Amino acid sequence: MTLSVNTNAGAMVALQNLNKTNAEMGEVQNRINTGLEVSSAKDNGGIFAIAQRMRSQVAGFGVVQQSLDLASSVTDVGLAAGEAISDLLVEMKEKALAASDVSLDSASRTALDADFSALRDQISTIVSNAEFNGTNLIDGSVSSITALANADGTNTITVSSQDFSLGGTIVTVGASDSIATASDASTVATALETSLDNLNTSLATLGTDSKALEVHNTFVTKLSDSVEKGIGNLVDADLAKESARLQSLQVKQQLGVQALSIANQAPQTILSFFG
């Protein structure tokens, strides 16, 4: 190798290697700081694009879960109200059957009718207050509610409403019905029996819809977790491996500095030629 004070080829090689080592150290330190092997498109454009698409799916799953939670809450409130109404109808039927006894005295019949009216009016109170986030599934104000079922919004789950209002097709007992006479009580008792059958069928439908929302929510949660795990497999750094690599590069960096120092001393030997 030619000795020259103008060109130090050895120093150039040493500097190139040292710069390469420093660049590798910067890469390792970035992986340690972020925990990611692929943190930007310049690390690996293909993998980064796949990971970003999967992150978008995970974000979509989060919205789906929120939608399912909201629909579940609305449905569960309706279910709770319907179950309370079913209990009231059972009590009302008990009062109506008691009042249908023709031998009942006037005072007892009046007391039974007052209890019946209070229970009847309580149904209207429950129906009007069975709402969540402004949505009432049992007063006939909506025909159905929908929840998102997938991350791109193309599929939905529909929950049909059930109208539990007095005098409707489910609860056939009217808002002004009474058991003031034995004949009225007998008629109302029959209507209550029909109402109970209708209501229990509607509650079964609501219960099935609520279970479907719950099952799908569980599935979406597991699916989201699986996708997140897949993202981790693609882009997460093996920190144990990176730690070992960092130590190796630190030694290599120190040796590179020494090699550059030795190379920089080479032109000094030229002075001995002119001593």
**pLDDT, tens digit, 9 for 90 and up, residues 49-83:** 999 999 999 999 999 999 999 999 999 999 999 99
Q: What digits encode the pLDDT tens for the residues 124-165?
A: 999 999 999 999 999 999 999 999 999 888 999 999 999 999
Residue 273 has pLDDT above 80, yes or no: no
Distance in angstroms (rounded) separating the CA atoms of residues 167 and 255: 91
**N- to C-terminal Cα distance for the chain?**
22
In residues, how long is the chain?
Answer: 275
This prediction has a pTM of 0.78
Strands (E), 50-170: 131-132, 135-136, 144-148, 156-160
Q: Are strands 135-136 and 144-148 parallel, antiparallel or unpaired?
A: unpaired
In the numeric block, the tokens 């719950």 are attached to 214
Q: Residue range 4-27: average pLDDT?
A: 86
Identify residue 265 by its one-letter amino acid code. Q
Q: Which residues contact 104 (CB under 8 A, 6 or more apart)?
A: 98, 112, 182
Distance in angstroms (rounded) separating the CA atoms of residues 111 and 99: 10
Q: What digits encode the pLDDT tens for the residues 89-100?
A: 999 999 999 999
- Residue 6: the pLDDT is 78
The pair of three-digit structure tokens given for residue 20, joined into one six-digit string: 């390469």
Residue 270 has pLDDT above 80, yes or no: no
Q: How far is CA 22 from each of CA 10, 26, 120, 229, 258, rounded to the nearest angstrom? A: 18, 6, 82, 32, 14
- Residue 27: the pLDDT is 85
Distance in angstroms (rounded) separating the CA atoms of residues 213 and 56: 23
Distance in angstroms (rounded) separating the CA atoms of residues 24 and 30: 10
- Residue 192: the pLDDT is 95
Residue 1 has pLDDT above 80, yes or no: no
Three-state secondary structure call for residue 158: strand
Q: What is the mean pLDDT of the chain?
A: 91
- Residue 43: the pLDDT is 83
Which among 152, 155, 158, 149 is positioned nearest to 219, based on CA atoms? 149
Q: Residue range 7-18: average pLDDT?
A: 86
Rama region for 158: left / alpha / beta (φ>0; ψ in -120 to 50; rest) = beta
Q: Which residues contact 212 (CB under 8 A, 6 or more apart)?
A: 157
